[in-house]
Amino acid sequence: MQAFKQHKGIVAPMDRPNVDTDAIIPKQFLKSIKRSGFGPNAFDDWRYLDAGGPDIDNDTRRVNPDFILNQSPFDKATILVARENFGCGSSREHAVWALDDFGFRAVLAPSFADIFFNNSFKNGLLPIVLDAKIIDSIFKAVEQKPGFELAIDLESQTIEMEGQAPITFEVDEFKKHCLLNGLDDIGLTLQHADDIKAYEQKRSQQAPWLF
């Protein structure tokens, strides 16, 4: 998993509440269990004017010019600012994979659906909960200056915003540790590889019929 320490990037606004996981990555794209390749179909139903599928070449499809992520400079955004209850709906981990593959490193919102929130940390995407008034100010800044950037420092738990004092945010210490060090569940387990190997060797001697 890619570690997250510091990141500065363009902010894209998604000014709608309750963006669910089916909107982030529609169900027809869930056939693959690879973590890559979902970026071109992130927000597929909003991004294109015709229907898509896993076997359809996106280069042949009609792009929706009104969708924010199809517009410059937001097509190069790496930080998404959204409204409340982002990532609601089904528990599909593909939603986080799609955002990550698009290029997003962080999502800022007043609240997140619990499963999406936890899946994000496990896949190197930083979800940051901020007061609704702060989110409003970020939306306003983006509206006034397309291409507006934020600088996020996970270690100090701060966000640098031009013309304002640093914004602080809360994050669980264990999730922070994992993200700073690029540790997903497998990575955490592999930290104990020597202990696991020693246990297996001992167990094979105590109960050889199991092996």
Give per-residue pLDDT as tens, 184-206.
Answer: 776 666 666 676 676 777 777 77
Whether 154 has a pLDDT exceeding 70, the answer reads yes
pLDDT given for residue 197 in this prediction: 72
pTM: 0.89
Whether 89 has a pLDDT exceeding 80, the answer reads yes
Residue 192 Cα distances to 24, 49, 92, 150, angstroms: 35, 49, 28, 37
In CATH terms, the superfamily for domain 6-180 is Aconitase, domain 4 (3.20.19.10)
Structure tokens at 72: 């410059």
Chain centroid offset of residue 160 CA: 20
Whether 68 has a pLDDT exceeding 80, the answer reads yes
Q: Which residues pair with 160 in a beta bridge?
A: 151
- In this prediction, residue 7 has a pLDDT band, given cuts at 50, 70 and 90, of very high
pLDDT given for residue 192 in this prediction: 61
d(CA 55, CA 183): 33
CB 112 within 8 A of CB 129: yes
DSSP secondary structure code for residue 70 in this structure: G
Span 69-78, average pLDDT: 97
Pairing of strands 158-161, 79-82: unpaired
d(CA 154, CA 171): 9
What whole-number percentage of the chain has pLDDT above 90? 75
| Type of residue found at 63 | V
- In this prediction, residue 77 has a pLDDT band, given cuts at 50, 70 and 90, of very high
Question: What is the tens place of the pLDDT at every residue in 20-50?
Answer: 999 999 999 988 777 778 999 999 999 999 9
Whether 207 has a pLDDT exceeding 90, the answer reads no
pLDDT, averaged across the chain: 92
As a residue count, the chain comes to: 211
pLDDT given for residue 33 in this prediction: 74
| Residue ranges covered by each domain of the chain | 6-180, 185-211
Q: Which is more confident, 164 or 150?
A: 150
What is the rounded (10 degree) CA torsion for 44, 35, 126, 141?
Answer: -30
For residue 199, the SS3 value is helix
Span 4-15, average pLDDT: 97
